[in-house]
Amino acid sequence: MENVVIRGVSIERSQARVTITGIPDAPGMSGRILGALGDAEINLDMIISNIAHDGFARHSFTMHSSDLGRAQAALKPVLSDLAPNSKIETEAGIAKLSAVGIGMRSHSGVAATMFKALGDAGINIGMISTSEIKIAVTVDETRIEDAARAVHDAFGLDKVPA
């Protein structure tokens, strides 16, 4: 089983990204921001956070595109209180492509192979999230089938998901 590096590829259409910049790097900020979204019953998928050298954090996360307006409404009051100089960027029209396989744990270069295949197909990657058995990326939704096909071909998988 571990010899099968990638077992399958999945796609999720109708995704949106929210990125918040200018969040002070302080304990509890992430919890309060994500808590506001949880209170609004918005399910988040990919969550990526990092701290800039200027002492401010940047949070990006994805959700179903139908939740984007509610997410912005839930974030405005908490951000005006916590981080009045923060900015919210949004992007709709994206999709998530995931490559899954237990063999990733024991094979190096899986992400490089996937990213090269996408690059060779002319597909730009937005966000990247990884785990021990999954690599997920966001791409322009109009290119999701091409992206799935490129990753399938790169790993020798038989069938492109519908």
The answer to whether 8-13+94-155 and 16-92 have equal CATH topology is yes
**Whether the predicted pLDDT of 1 surpasses 50:** no
pLDDT digits (tens, 9 = 90+) for 34-53: 999 999 999 999 999 999 88
What 3-state class would DSSP assign to 59?
Answer: strand
Mean pLDDT of 75-80: 96
Q: State how far the Cα of 160 lies from the Cα of 162, in Å rounded to an integer.
A: 7
Q: At residue 130, what are phi and psi to the nearest 5 degrees? A: -130, 155
The CATH H-level superfamily of 8-13+94-155 is VC0802-like (3.30.2130.10)
* Domain boundaries, given as residue ranges, for the chain: 8-13+94-155, 16-92
Q: Residue 93 to residues 44, 58, 107, 126, 146: CA-CA distances in angstroms?
A: 16, 21, 33, 12, 15
pLDDT tier, 4 (very low <50, low <70, confident <90, very high otherwise): low
Compute the mean pLDDT over every residue in the chain, rounded to the nearest whole number: 93
CATH code for 16-92?
3.30.2130.10
Mean pLDDT of 74-98: 96
pLDDT tier, 24 (very low <50, low <70, confident <90, very high otherwise): very high
Higher confidence at residue 160 or residue 39? 39
**Whether the predicted pLDDT of 14 surpasses 60:** yes
